[in-house]
Structures are given as structure tokens and as C-alpha cells.
Amino acid sequence: MPDTKKFIENLSGAGKCIGVLTSGGDAQGMNAAVRAVVRMGIYVGAKVYFIHEGYQGMVDGGDNIKEASWESVSSMLQVGGTVIGSARCKDFRTHEGRLRAALNLVQRGITNLCVIGGDGSLTGANLFREEWSGLLDELVQSGEISEEASQIYSALHIVGMVGSIDNDFCGTDMTIADWVLIPEMPPKDGWEEQMCYKLSESRMRGSRLNIIIVAEGATDRHGNPISSNAVKELVVRCLGFDTRVTVLGHVQRGGTPSAFDRILASRMGVEAVLALLEASPGTPACVVSLCGNQAVRVPLMECVQMTQEVQKAMDEKRFEEAVRLRGSSFNVAVLNVGAPAAGMNAAVRSAVRVGITEGHTMFAVSDGFEGFYKGQIKEIKWGDVGGWTGQGGSLLGTKRTLPAKHIDKIAEQMRIHNINALLVIGGFEAYLGLMELQAARSKHAELCVPMVMVPATVSNNIPGSDLSIGADTALNAITDTCDRIKQSASGTKRRVFIIETMGGYCGYLATVGGLAAGADAAYIYEEPFDIRELQSNVEHLTEKMKTSIQRGLVLRNENCSENYTTDFIYQLYNEEGKGVFDCRKNVLGHMQQGGAPSPFDRNFGTKIAAKAMQWISKKLKEFYREGRVFANTEDSACLLGMRRRALVFQPVVQLKDETDFVHRIPKEQWWLRLRPLMKILAKYKTSYDVSDSGQLEHIVRLRAKDVSAI
């Protein structure tokens, strides 16, 4: 089989000039994207220019367009908003303004633009590209540039990155309550009475708090605006509930970017540079984005046109189409297994409520398989999971006990409670437990029911899934702690911090946390290292400390090496760095498991658990025969995981060959491809495989594939 790998060394940026700008409103993660573009651009030999204040800076020129250096993007990874400025520009909407912008770019040799912004910003970029040759002709005729310059800079390449808090741009899945009112899906007539009924019903079940979210621009089906104050007056008038209005406003734009935003922005920044390097005169302007966990490139104007179709559908009151352009009674038991992970409760809540909606009776099992064989099983109702989404840990209780030694008692409890299906939410013990339950089916007919596992572990070490519930919250904890630790050394002499992370033998937290926090090195089990590499890292950091940076960051996975412990690495760096920097060490420990779940984990847990319950409903109907459920096929015991861009159900027996059972990790792990990226952004020379980079896909075909996959 031919080697299809393609490496960054084969893509030269020598002689190319890249301009990077942020336009429109601020969005968290913009700085991380700018940093990645600058450092990857410099790494491949290109010149990179900051274009300050968006299109206004491009039109005005002068000091607004400055060459960027490696050091100029240091310490900006954790800063919210955009440090190069973002302004809306009326001048760029005129032909004269775009003519001045073209002149300013040509004078600096910039023919590659990376535009980070929303719908309007990217539409303007495409118009600029379409007019480019005509603009150069005008500049030649006016004598402002030579004919030779017009030929040299004849093609303008543009790559867009969606930087918007609205998440309203088609072609990308992600950008950097009790009742929700949004523009895309106005409520049906009579929504006022229905909402008040639901709120009243919630209070009768014992709830003392209700949250109603009103999006800016929300309307009813006749186009009448729905404001937060109007909703408040409705609730007070009809129900007499004490009601408060909180307008979040610009607080939504501020703050430190999350680990997810930083990683997304860094990956997309690098992808943007790769797209510019590979562009030819005939390559259309594209948007780089993330679909599931897969980088993709989609033609910019197809994204813009689709976004405009969404707005048109809303204007014409075709609300269901707008949302599409933007997705018998059985007893079902749900349990948590393994260590706690933030987002488990959101997943349980989603499973319970979707199950009840589909007509099932839901049972909660306390304390995992241990509680199962002890009979700690009770019915769980709609109101019992109220307020669970934002709570960390596991409210059901969770233990690492495996079922094999207690199979007889578990089967007995299945029979007593007439359990027809199982949803197991947890980590590696849940994975092993599901295999043990399936293996025992030949002896216990009670276990011949549909079973599905949803991965939930901070270690993100489950075969068959790129992501696990809880890992994002752990990454945020690591990133936030690293930010605070580095900040503690501001104003002091040069200092290096050695940080130990959790994860067992899986280096996901150390690697991706290091990428999000701007680490200089991350030591993991999957990538063996020796004393020579440690010495090389110390020397590299020493040279950087002498010339620029004041603080260094090194992460170490807890089980990366039996001999090169955190203490050993700390002592080595401390000794070898004498006279240049001193060292501090921190072991983060269980703080990585605690805390409220991140928005990503809440949403991911909610979505994946709902998907699992829909699968259970389908399988129950499929395997219901002659008054009973009997499921004994391989595909009736599955793991639901995120594979690249889709949620996929995979029989657990088929995942055995993908598993390193000794070290409790998958044999192949997608995030290992990010390690060279971390090194490049830390100024190392390394080999970077770009064969898995995004390919240009038309948006109609992309969306069709997504729908069928999910």
C-alpha cells in the first residue's frame, strides 16, 4: 500500500507574505487563532503581517500593517478578544476603499489573507478577491504600481476562519433551560399558555427555580418581537412568580477563552496557513472549520449563500427549514461507572427525559455495578433530574467495581425490575463492564437486552471515541491553573513550571492541555523519551529564555515514565537552568475531576445521551418478539463514540483489537497528530504530517453526509 503521508517540510512558504486580520465583533479564541497563523507562517518561511483594526487598518495602511515576529504573539493565548483590534469599516464597502486596501497590500507584497470574522467580514473578503485583478489594473493605470508588480501579485488567496459568538455561520459545527426562545424557531401560536403551564407544572414538582432564555432577535411566528421584559411581565401576570431579568450583553464577548476555543483556534490557524500554501490561482476562497472532530475546508461563498438562505427562510416564516439548514413502554436502566467526570449528570438528565418522552419507564442505578448487584435501583422521573446539567461529579454515585464477579446477582436484579435495556455512562471500567455483560449472555438470558455505553472520563482513553464527556472540563481546569501559575511569575525573574497531569497512561490531557496553555514540552507514555531528549528540551528552553520569554511551561503525564518522575524532571531543569531560570513544580491531582462541567461537556453529554436513548428505542422495537425483548447479536451491545465528524455506534466486541488492555488506552489515538503542532508553536523544528488536513468540500454534499452519518 503506497505511503500517502504528506509532511509540512514539503510545503514551502518562502517568498510568500500572509496578512492576518480580525473583523467584526470580538470573539474568544481570536488571539489563539492569530498566534497559530503567525507562528505556523513563520515556521514555513513566510512573512506574516498583522493588519490592525480589521479592514479599516487595511484601507488606512501605514502603521496599521506591521510585520509580526515569533515573540510578538507570546502571552496572547490566554487573552480574550483580539489584541490586533477589530473594527467595522464603511470605507471597505466602497470601491475606492478597496482600491486603497489593494495598494497597501501590494506595496508590502501581501497576496495571502487570513480573515477571522463573521458572515459580513468573509463576504467582503470574497468580493475583494473577485475584484483583485481589476483593482490592480486601475492601480497600474494611475501609475501607483508598475506593470511588473501587477503580474507578480496577480492572484489574491483568501482563507476564512469563523470568529463569532453567534455560531450562526453555515458550514461549521462549532465556532469559537427550561424554555428557550430563538429567532430560528419562533414558538407556535399559544406558546404563552404552554410556557406558563410548563413552569407551573415544574413548581408543583418541587422546583424553586426556572430559567427562560430569550435570544436577541427572537420573534413569534407572525414576526412580532419577543423581549425579555415582555416574558417577565407575562410570567408575573399569569403565575405571580417572582421574576428577574438579566441582560448579559457584552459580557458574552469578554473573558478568557476556554481550552476548547484555544485548541479549535490553534488547529484552524494552522489549517488556514496550510490552505494558503496549497492554494493556486484557481483555488476558490475557503473557510476552514471543524466538523465533528475533523478539519474541513468549504468554499467561502457556499457558506455565505447558505447562511443567507437561513435568514431568507426565517424572513419567509419557513422556520422548520431554517432549523434544518442550521438536525410501546419499556424499562430502561441508566448507571454511571468508573471515576466521576463533569458532564455525567447532564448525560443522565438527557437520557431520563428523552426516555420518558419516548414512553419508557426510567430506572436509576446508584453506585455503578456495585449498586446494581445490591439492588440499589429505583424509578427516576422527569422532575428528579431538574437542575442536574450544571452540577459536577456523579449524583447517581459511581464506582469502579466490575460486574463479572456479581453476574448472577445483576441478572437477578434485571429480572426483578424487568430491565429491558441498559445505558452505561462512564470510563474504561464501563467499557470493560459492558464486555463482561455481553460475554455472560450465554448463561443469563436476562442480559440479552440492548446495551449501549457513552464514554465519560477525564482521561479520554476509550477506544472507539475521539472525545469523552468530562475531558473538556478537565482541560479547562488544567489551562486555567497553568494561566494562573504563569501569571504568578509575572514581574519576577525567568521561571519554568513543571506541571503533572492525570490521565493514567493516556497522554491526552498533557498534550492537548499543553497545546491550550502554550507549553514548551509535554511528556507522555505514548511517546517514549530519554535523558537526551530531556537535556535537549532544557537547552532549547534556555536559549528561548535568554532571548525572549520570561516563563516556561512543561507538562508531564502522571504515568509517562517509571524513572523520569516529576521530581526528577524538576531537579534536572532546576540544575541545568541555573543562572538562566529557576523552577517550580505543581501536581494538579483531583482538581481536574471536580468543578462544574464546561458548556462543551454539558452540550456533548446532553446530545450523545439523547442519541443513545434513540438507539435504545430503535433496538427495543427491533428485538421485541412474542411479548419479550431478546437481543443477543454483536450489534446489540455498542459503544457510542465521536469518530472524526460523526457519532457512531460500534459493537464493543469489535473494539477489542483496537485496545491496549494492559495500559487502558486505544492502540491508535488521533490527538498524537497534534503533538508536532505543539512543538512547532513552541519554536521546535519537527516533522508535521499534514496528510490529514482538511480537503475542500462543497457544503451541500457536506451537510448531506453529516445528516446520514448522524
State the DSSP H helix or E strand holding residue 509, giving kind and residue range, or none if neither. Answer: helix 508-517
Pairing of strands 212-214, 179-181: parallel
- The answer to whether the beta carbons of residues 408 and 415 sit under 8 Å apart is no
The Cα–Cα gap between 216 and 249 comes to: 10
Question: Would you state the cell numbers that stand for residue 133, as one nine-digit string?
Answer: 485583478
Q: Which residues, 6 or more positions from 60, have their beta carbon under 8 angstroms from its beta carbon?
A: 53, 100, 104
Question: Would you state the cell numbers that stand for residue 596, as one nine-digit string?
Answer: 462544574
Q: Which residues, 6 or more positions from 496, have their beta carbon under 8 angstroms from its beta carbon?
A: 520, 541, 545, 551, 552, 553, 554, 573, 577, 581, 582, 583, 584
- Give, to the nearest 10 degrees, the angle between helix 30-43 and helix 259-278: 40
The Cα–Cα gap between 702 and 687 comes to: 30
Pairing of strands 551-557, 521-523: parallel
Report the DSSP beta bridge partners of residue 287. Answer: 160, 298
Length of the chain: 710
Question: Would you state the cell numbers that stand for residue 364, as one nine-digit string?
Answer: 436509576
- The answer to whether the beta carbons of residues 685 and 696 sit under 8 Å apart is no
Question: Would you state the cell numbers that stand for residue 567, as one nine-digit string?
Answer: 521530581
Q: Whose CA is closest to 628, among 487, 449, 504?
A: 449
HSE-CB of 84 using CA atoms within 13 angstroms: 35
The Cα–Cα gap between 148 and 139 comes to: 12
Matching residue, cell 540544575 = 575
Q: Whose CA is closest to 553, among 78, 35, 42, 80?
A: 78
Q: 3-class SS at 248?
A: coil
The Cα–Cα gap between 494 and 71 comes to: 15
Q: 3-class SS at 275?
A: helix
The Cα–Cα gap between 51 and 66 comes to: 7
Question: Would you state the cell numbers that stand for residue 644, as one nine-digit string?
Answer: 472524526
Could you say which DSSP state residue 241 is in?
-
- The answer to whether the beta carbons of residues 52 and 85 sit under 8 Å apart is yes
Question: Would you state the cell numbers that stand for residue 355, as one nine-digit string?
Answer: 426516555
Three-state SS string over 227-288 comes to CHHHHHHHHHHHHCCCCCCCCCHHHHCCCCCCHHHHHHHHHHHHHHHHHHHHCCCCCCCEEE
HSE-CB of 710 using CA atoms within 13 angstroms: 18
The Cα–Cα gap between 234 and 47 comes to: 58
> Is 168 tagged catalytic?
no
For the chain, the 3-state helix, strand and coil shares in percent, each to the nearest 5, are: 45, 20, 35
Q: Which of 166, 178, 660, 706 is catalytic?
A: 166
- The answer to whether the beta carbons of residues 388 and 648 sit under 8 Å apart is no
Dihedral in degrees, nearest 10, Cα atoms 136, 137, 138, 139: 50
| b/e burial code for range 158-185 (CB count within 10 A of at least 16 → b) | bbbbbbbbbebbbbbeebbeebebbbbb
10 Å CB burial of residue 375 (0-12, 13-18, 19+) is middle
Q: What residues are annotated to the active site?
A: 166
